[in-house]
Amino acid sequence: MTRIEIPNLPDYSEQSINGAVQYLYQILRDEIAQIRDAEELEQRRIQWLGRKAGILKQISERWISSCPPELRKHLGFAFNAFKQEVEIQLDPSKVVKAGIPVSVVEELREVPSFKTRKLDSESIDITLPGSRRLTGAEHPITRTLNEITQVFAALGYSVGVGPEVETDFYNFESMNFPPGHPARDTQDTLVVAGQERRPLRDRLLLRTHTSPVQMRTMELQPPPVRIVIPGKVHRNDAADATHSPIFHQVEGLCVDTNITFSDLKGTLDHAMKALFGSAVKTRFFPSFFPFTEPSADVQISCIFCGGKGCRKCKQSGWIELLGCGMVDPAVFAFAAEKQPAYDPKKISGFAFGMGVERIAMMKYGISEIGQFYAGDMRFLGQFV
C-alpha cells in the first residue's frame, strides 16, 4: 500500500479544486486496480475512509476548514461527490456478495470522473426507442363471428341473443327433441348437478346449440322473424385437434308467409359467396335434424382448390359446412303456445346453423382448435 499525498490547493478557484479532485480520482482508480481480494479491499477502505486518519478525513481538514465561506459551495459539492464515489467503490458488501473478488475488482477499475457521472445521470438518450404500446385486435373467433353476422345483417337480419345456461325445455323439448328421443344422444350434454327432483323440462344445462334462442325470440315476437344468433355453446366432447367442449355457432331463423326451400337455398348460396368469394358454389344433401323438416347438409366448393380436389377437401372438391332445413311444424306448435300467430298452416320458415371455429380454421389455415383458447400471444399476434 503506497502512501498517498494529498494535493495542496493553491487557491480556492473552481479550476484548482477540479484539478485537485481529478488528481484524487486518478489515485483512487490506481489503488482499486491493485486490489486482489477482500482483505486488500478492507485495508484500502480503512486507508481512505478511516474516521480518525483516513484520507478523506485529512482532505476535509486540510481543504474545507481553511476555505473562505463564499467559496465553500463548489468545494463542498466536489468533495461530497468524490467521497460518495470512494464509499461506493470500496463498499465491502460488493465483494462479499459477489464471492469472486477479482471480477468485482475488474468492474471497479473503471471509475468515471464526477463530472462525467453527473452528466450521465442527467442526460437523456434521445436515440433510444420509446416504450411501444401493443396494438389490440379482434380475436379470430370474434372476427369470424362478426363477419358471418354482417353478411346476414345486410340481408335485413337482426341479432338474437339468449342465456348460455338453458332449461331442458328450450334446449331440447321445444326444438322437437322429446324426452328419451335418440337425437338427444348426438349432443352429449353438460347438465347442472342436483336437479333430480325438478321436472325434466325445468332442469338446467349448458346449451348445446344456439337454437333455444329461436324459440325465445318467437315467443316474444310474432312473425315475420329474421334473426341470426351468434354465441357460445357447450358439449361434453373430448378435446382433440378439431373438437372442443366449448365452441361457437351462428344460427339463423327466417319465418314469414310463403317462405320456401328456394328462399333457403338462395339465402345460403348468397351468404357463402359473400363469405368465401363469388366463385364459390353450394350444393344441398338430405339430412336429419329434429327441428327441421326437410333437413339438408350444405357443401361449398373447395375454397383451396376451386373444386379440382386437394388434401383439404379429401380430393372430393367439396367441403361440408353447415346444416339447414325448413322449420318443423312441431317447433311452430311450441311457439304458438305463447304466440298464436305461429300457425304452421299459415306461416313457414327456414333455419340454418354453422360452426364458427370450423370456418375460422378454414379461412386462416389453423389445424388445432385449441390454439383459439390458449391465449398464446405469438398465435394471436398474427391476427393484428
Residues near Zn ion, by CB under 5 A: 302, 304-305, 310, 312-313
289, β-bridge pairs: 292
CB of 279 to Zn ion, least distance (A): 13
| Least distance in angstroms from the C-beta of 151 to Zn ion | 23
The nearer residue to Zn ion, 302 or 327, going by C-beta atoms, is 302
Residue number of the CB atom closest to Zn ion = 302
Q: How many Cα atoms within 13 Å fall on the side-chain side of residue 297?
A: 10
Min dist CB 362 to Zn ion, Å, is 11
Could you tell me the smallest distance in angstroms from the CB atom of residue 334 to Zn ion? 41
Alpha-helical segments (H) within the chain: 14-34, 38-49, 55-59, 72-89, 92-98, 101-108, 114-122, 140-153, 168-171, 212-220, 261-276, 329-336, 356-364, 377-380
Closest to 348 measured CA to CA, from 368, 331, 366: 331
Closest to Zn ion by CB, 95 vs 319, is 319
Residue 108 to residue 338: CA distance in whole angstroms: 86
Q: Least Å distance between CB 307 and Zn ion?
A: 7
* Pairwise CA distance, residues 371 & 312, whole Å: 19
* Least distance (Å) between residue 145 CB and Zn ion: 25
User: How many alpha carbons fall within 13 Å on the CB side of residue 323?
Assistant: 15
How does strand 158-159 pair with strand 225-234? Answer: parallel
3-state secondary structure of 182: helix
Q: Which residue has the cell 347438465?
A: 191
Three cell numbers at 80?
A: 461530497
| Identity of the residue numbered 341 | A
Cβ of residue 317: shortest distance to Zn ion, in angstroms? Answer: 6
Closest to Zn ion by CB, 65 vs 278, is 278
**In this structure, how many other beta carbons lie within 10 angstroms of the beta carbon of residue 213?**
24
| Closest CB to Zn ion among residues 36, 314 | 314
**Residue linked to cell 353478411:** 151
Residue nearer to Zn ion on the CB measure, 20 or 313? 313
Q: How far apart are CB 201 and Zn ion at their closest, in Å?
A: 45
- 300/298 Cα distance (integer angstroms): 7
Nearer to Zn ion, 163 or 317 (CB): 317
CA distance 282 to 319: 9
- Cβ proximity to Zn ion: between 3 and 311 the closer is 311
Tell the smallest beta-carbon distance from residue 321 to Zn ion (Å): 13
**Residue placing its CB nearer to Zn ion in the complex, 305 or 333:** 305
What is the phi-psi region of residue 276: left when phi exceeds 0, alpha when psi lies from -120 to 50, beta otherwise?
alpha
Q: CA 182 to CA 350: how far, in whole Å?
A: 23
CB nearer to Zn ion: give 280 or 327.
Answer: 280
